[in-house]
Each structure stands twice: as C-alpha cells, then as structure tokens.
C-alpha cells in the first residue's frame, strides 16, 4: 500500500509539473502563525522553537531536493483578528506555500475559514479543537484531539484511582475549554462515574472560590480542570485554602503543560495533578534522545514542553509532503500530506484519518519534585 501511494504521488507530481504547476524554487517560504507575546506566548514560542530547529537541520542536510526552506513568522498575540491579519500577510505579501499554525484553538478556527477559501496546506502543532479540520481538506494537525484527551483522562481517573465521583470546572467563553469539559463529562457518564459538579468561569477570572466551594461540598474524587496553565494554577492554589479544603485529584489536558513554572507551591501538584500530553522525554527511543539533545544544544536551555516536539513534527510532515509532491502547488502538497503513511516524527509515526487527524498515542504526565514526570502511555 505504501509503495502504491508513493507511486501515485510521484505520478501526480509529474503530471502537474508537465501542466505548468509550480515546481520547487531556490527558496521555499513557509509561514508561521503563533502567539509569541501575550498570555499564551509560552505555547507559541514552544512551537516556533521546534519548527526552527527542524528547518535548521533540514537546510544543513541540503534542504528539500537542494532548495532552502525559510520560515516567515508572525506574532498573532493569541488574538483571532491578529491571526487573520497575519495570515493575509503571509499569503498575499510573503507568498508562502504552506503554514505551520495556528497554536491555540480560537485563532486557528478563525484562520480556518480563509484556509478553506484558498486551499493552502496548513498544519497545526497544538490546536486540539475537533472543528479545526472539519470540512477543511487542507488543514492537518500533529497533535491529538480534545475529545480524545478528555476521554482518556476520564478513563485514567476510573482506572488509576477508582474515581467514582468527578467534577469539572471550565471556561465558558473558550472553545478549547468547553470542548474538553463536554467530552470529559460524556466519557465519565459513559464509564458510570457520577459528575457531581459542572462549574464554569472565564480565563479572566482571578477568584474561583465560589465554584470551588460548591465543588468541595460534593466531595469529588477528582476534578477535571479544563483550563490553560495560568488559570489552572490559581484554581489549584485556591482549592487548597483552608476555607475551601478541596482534597481530591486534579486532572487536565495538554494546556496544563507549564503550570509548574507559574505556581508558587509545586508541592500541590506532586502526584496529585495528572494531565494528557503529546510527548514524554522519558522515552528510550533514540530519536527522542537525539531531538532533546539537539534542542538543548540549539537553545542553551532545558527542553520545555511537548509543543516543542509537535512543532518539530508539524514542519517535518509539511516538508516531507513538499518533497513527495515535487511541487509547491497547494493541491499537490495537500494530497501528499493526506497520503502520509507512517511518516516518522519524534512524538509518533503519522498516518491521518478521514478527518485529517493523526492516529497516535497520548502520554499521561504528573509532577515529581516540581517537574513534569511521565506516568503512563495511553494508546488510542
């Protein structure tokens, strides 16, 4: 099957080149959309660092069939309007042939409408909302989905510490958070777990005491915190206050990554907060070890989070598709991406399903001595 797919891609590329479809240029420009400043900049910088590392390695090895890859980055500050404006600049001014991004779900969904109009291939390393790739054949992702990670966390709570009563707190104004909350609740109910509280707030809240007091009164075994790391840190710290006294396990999704750097007392996380992630540095895979060493050598800092790795994989997938297509034509590259068959990245091997989502594993993480620590691998 793999040989047939490769032959089909090569044949299609040859036919398109004969028909005058754009071939490779001396410099191949690829756009990058990410929040490089603002509240979620930690994620954007993580993706950018992973992408830039791969591009440096690729160019040092001869680029794509001898052509150099150049990344053109724009800071969209985590804002939908800024993301659309940056996208338009990348396409109209910079003439990029593909895009890595966006990073969080809301700006990615905003950009997705423009992607649908022109068909440019785009891969997000971190936007986990299900709707990102819905009815959008040229958008792919190197990360898993919100429904998948929320569901496995409900299963993990059931299996790891026999949680029979669970609660949820989420951001009512954020698609990422709402999607996680709904999927966790649905899976918990399917598992026979009682959802004793379902509380909401917004990311701008700084006081969650009312919601947490209500949750504590229900005495859940676990609380699913469907927030990014900043608000999640406030929730964990406020839950521990004597007047609230919420004593349970805490669960989260990939947005929790980085919480240890923002919480004043990391002891509150110790083997008590568990979350799903895309990558684990504990792996014995030589490719993982090589990636981490290359990352730390390039940036002179410790490897930080999974989005470094999914960013690396996203640009790898796009460049492999351009190489397979032998062209920068949007349709040809998209077809090559769709035909990806066990393309090996550092987080996983990649094959895409009918929704352009990768079929890959997730990793359950916790915290030990104030640092991320691998708990177990969770297969789809």
Residues 329 and 311: beta-carbon distance below 8 Å: no
CATH architecture of the domain with residue range 147-277: 3-Layer(aba) Sandwich (3.40)
Distance (Å, whole) CA 93 – CA 29: 11
Q: Concatenated DSSP letters for 136-169?
A: -TTEEESS--HHHHHHHHHHHHHHHH---EEEEE
CA dist list (Å): 64 to 58, 259, 290, 330, 350:
8, 38, 21, 16, 20
Along the 380 residues of the chain, how does pLDDT read in single tens digits? 444 344 344 444 444 444 444 556 689 999 999 999 999 999 999 999 999 999 999 999 999 999 999 999 999 999 999 999 999 999 999 999 999 999 999 999 999 999 999 999 999 999 988 899 999 999 999 998 888 899 999 999 999 999 999 999 999 999 889 999 999 999 999 999 999 999 999 878 999 999 999 999 999 999 999 999 999 999 999 999 999 999 999 999 999 988 999 998 999 999 999 999 988 887 777 888 999 999 999 999 988 788 999 999 999 999 999 999 999 999 999 999 999 998 999 998 899 999 999 988 788 999 999 988 999 887 76
Residues 168 and 184: beta-carbon distance below 8 Å: yes
Distance (Å, whole) CA 30 – CA 19: 24
Residues 193 and 220: beta-carbon distance below 8 Å: no
Q: Where are the domains of the chain?
A: 2-144+284-361, 147-277
Stated pTM of the model: 0.75
The DSSP output letter for 254 is G
Half-sphere exposure of 105 (CA within 13 A, CB side): 23
Question: For the chain, what is the total number of helices (H) and then of strands (E)?
Answer: 11, 14
The reply to whether 2-144+284-361 and 147-277 are identical in fold is yes
CATH placement of domain 2-144+284-361:
3.40.50.2300
Distance (Å, whole) CA 204 – CA 198: 19
Most distant CA pair in the chain, distance: 73
């Amino acid at each position: 099957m793999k040989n047939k797919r490769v032959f089909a891609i090569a044949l299609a590329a040859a036919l398109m080149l004969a028909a005058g479809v754009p071939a490779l240029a001396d410099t191949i420009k690829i756009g990058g959309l990410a929040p490089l400043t603002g509240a979620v900049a930690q994620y954007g910088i993580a993706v950018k660092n992973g992408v830039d590392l791969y591009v440096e390695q690729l160019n040092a090895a001869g680029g794509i069939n001898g052509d150099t890859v150049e990344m053109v980055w724009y800071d969209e500050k985590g804002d939908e309007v800024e993301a659309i404006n940056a996208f338009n600049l990348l396409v109209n001014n910079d003439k990029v042939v593909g895009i890595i991004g966006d990073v969080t779900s809301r700006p990615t969904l905003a950009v997705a409408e423009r992607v649908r109009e022109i068909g440019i291939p785009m891969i997000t390393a971190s936007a986990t909302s299900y709707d990102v790739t819905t009815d959008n054949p040229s958008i792919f992702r190197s990360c898993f989905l919100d429904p998948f990670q929320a569901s496995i966390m409900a299963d993990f709570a059931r299996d790891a510490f026999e949680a029979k009563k669970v609660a949820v707190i989420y951001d009512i104004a954020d698609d990422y958070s709402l999607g996680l909350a709904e999927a966790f609740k649905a899976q918990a109910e399917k598992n026979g777990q009682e959802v004793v509280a379902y509380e909401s707030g917004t990311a701008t809240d700084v006081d969650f005491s009312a919601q947490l007091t209500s949750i504590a009164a229900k005495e859940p075994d676990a609380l699913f915190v469907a927030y990014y790391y900043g608000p999640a840190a406030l929730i964990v710290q406020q839950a521990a206050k004597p007047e609230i006294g919420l004593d349970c396990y805490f669960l989260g999704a990939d947005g929790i990554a980085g919480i240890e750097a923002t919480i004043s007392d990391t002891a509150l996380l110790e083997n008590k907060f568990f979350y799903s992630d895309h990558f684990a540095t504990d792996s014995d895979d030589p490719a993982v070890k090589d990636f981490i060493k290359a990352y730390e050598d390039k940036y002179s800092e410790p490897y930080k989070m999974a989005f470094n790795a999914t960013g690396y994989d996203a640009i790898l997938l796009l460049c492999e598709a351009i190489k397979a297509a032998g062209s920068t034509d949007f349709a040809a590259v998209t077809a090559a991406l769709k035909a990806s068959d066990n393309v090996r990245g550092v987080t996983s091997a990649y094959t895409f399903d009918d929704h352009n989502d990768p079929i890959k594993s997730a990793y359950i993480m916790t915290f030990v001595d104030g640092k991320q620590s691998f708990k177990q691998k969770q297969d789809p």
